[in-house]
Chain A
Amino acid sequence: MTTAGLTKMVLLDSAIVCGAWLQADWAPEESIARNDRHCIVVPVVFKIRATGFSKIVLPSIDYPNRLGVPLAANVWKLDFHIVNQCIREIPMGFIETYLILIDLDGFEFIACPDKHLSENSAYGRDVGLAQLKDCNLPPKILRTASLAFELPADFSDLRLGLRFGSLAFAV
C-alpha cells in the first residue's frame, strides 16, 4: 500500500487494453464515511470497465473563456462503463469524488470539477462528461460515462483507483 486509504489499484493502460471489468469496493473507516457528503450507506460496490483515455483539446471547446481550468492545462478524458451492484442507487457525485488516477509517485488526481467543461458546454454533453451530473446510478443498470482529469505535463504509468476503497480486476 503506497498511499493512505488505497489498498488496490489497477494500471490504467492494462485495464483499457484488456477491457476487463474491475470490481470496486468502498468501505472506509468510520470517520471517513461519516464525513462523506453524499450520505451514502457503506459498503458501496460497483463494477467499472475503462474503455478509453484521450487528451481534451480545451481551446476547441465551445466558449473556452468560461472554463475554470487554464486553457493550457493538460486535461484527459477517461471513458468507462459502470454498473452499480448495491441494493440502492449510488449518487453520481460519489463516482466523481472517489474515482481517482494515481501516478508512479503516489500523487492522486480526482476528476476535474469544471462546471463548464462537464455540464454546460456542448462538448461535455456530447462526449458523456455530463452523464455523471445530477442523477443517481440505479442498481444493475449499465451506464456509459466519462470523467475529465487534469494531470501534470509529464505523467506515466497511471493507475486507476478508488479513494478510501479498492479497485481490482473482477474474478
Chain B
Amino acid sequence: MIRLVDAINTGQWLLLKVKPHGLTENLINDGCDITLRFRVRGISELNGESVSDQDAMRRLANRNIWRLQLDVINICKREIETRFVTRRLSLAETNGHQYRAMSSTPIYDMSDAALSLGLRTFSNSCRLMPPKVVRSGSVSFDFSEVKIGRPRVLPFEIDVDPTDLYVSCYQGAIEAPSS
C-alpha cells in the first residue's frame, strides 16, 4: 500500500495488479495479471459547492463524499471496462479496513457536472479503456455514515480523514513500478 498523500505529492506512477479469474479476464492480458498504470492527481471533497446544478447539489447534500482524481493507463494487451477502476481501486486504513470506490457516480452520469468533475470517465456505464490510452477522471468514495434510504453498518471509525488513508486495491495489489 502507498500512502495517499505521498502518491499525490510525488505524482509517482503506480501499478494496480489483479489476478485474472475466468475466461473473460484471462483473455485481457493473455492469462497474466490485469495491470493498470495510474497516478493520483489529488483528492477533494465533493459537496454542493463543487457543482452548479440543483439536482447534483441535492444528491450531495449531507453526505461525506470525496473525489480522487486519477490518470489511468491500461497496459494489458486488450481493452478493459472502465468500471474495472471503480471496482478495484480502494482506500485503506493501516488496520486493513478498505473503503471501496462508489460503483456509480453520485451525480447523474450524463450531466455537465459529472463531465466537468471527471466522474463520467470511470462510471458504471460500460465503457472501454483501450491499451496505452491515458484516461483522466475521478472516482468517488462515500464516507457518509448513512446512505440515502438505508443505514450503513461499518466496522470501522466513520470519522476518517481521507488524506490519512493508503491507496489500495480490492483483491489485488498496488505496487510502485520499481519494486
Which A residues from 68 to 94 make CB contacts under 8 A with B? Answer: 68-70, 73-74
Excluding A32-B23, A109-B131, 19 further A-B contacts by CB distance (< 8 Å) are A4-B77, A35-B23, A65-B112, A68-B120, A68-B125, A70-B121, A70-B135, A74-B133, A107-B77, A107-B131, A107-B132, A108-B78, A109-B130, A110-B78, A110-B79, A112-B130, A150-B133, A151-B130, A151-B133
A65 B133 Cβ-Cβ under 8 A: no
* Docked pose: A132 CA to B56 CA in angstroms: 36
List the B side residues contacting A65 at CB < 8 Å.
112, 115
In the assembled complex, 21 residue pairs joining A and B whose CB atoms fall closer than 8 Å, in A order, are A3-B30, A3-B77, A4-B77, A31-B23, A68-B120, A74-B133, A103-B132, A106-B77, A107-B77, A108-B77, A108-B78, A108-B131, A109-B79, A110-B128, A112-B130, A113-B127, A113-B128, A150-B130, A150-B133, A151-B130, A152-B132
B38 to chain A, nearest CB (A): 16
The number of residue pairs between A and B whose CB atoms lie closer than 8 Å in the complex comes to: 54
Which B residues from 114 to 171 make CB contacts under 8 A with A? Answer: 115, 120-121, 125-128, 130-133, 135-136
Which A residues from 26 to 51 make CB contacts under 8 A with B? Answer: 31-32, 35
List the A side residues contacting B125 at CB < 8 Å.
68
* Docked pose: A3 CA to B121 CA in angstroms: 28
Interface residues on B, range: 20 to 34
Is A140 in contact with chain B by the CB < 8 A criterion? no
* Docked pose: A69 CA to B79 CA in angstroms: 14
Total A residues in contact with B, Cβ cutoff 8 Å: 26
A70 B130 Cβ-Cβ under 8 A: no
* Docked pose: A152 CA to B115 CA in angstroms: 21
List the A side residues contacting B136 at CB < 8 Å.
70
Residues of A within 8 A of B (CB): 3-5, 31-32, 35, 65-66, 68-70, 73-74, 103, 106-110, 112-114, 149-152
List the A side residues contacting B120 at CB < 8 Å.
68
List the B side residues contacting A69 at CB < 8 Å.
127
List the B side residues contacting A151 at CB < 8 Å.
130, 133
B134 to chain A, nearest CB (A): 8
List the B side residues contacting A114 at CB < 8 Å.
127
Closest Cβ neighbor of B111 among chain A residues? A65
List the B side residues contacting A110 at CB < 8 Å.
78-79, 128, 130
B22 to chain A, nearest CB (A): 10
A112 B23 Cβ-Cβ under 8 A: no
List the A side residues contacting B23 at CB < 8 Å.
31-32, 35
List the A side residues contacting B135 at CB < 8 Å.
70
A35 B30 Cβ-Cβ under 8 A: no
* Docked pose: A113 CA to B82 CA in angstroms: 12
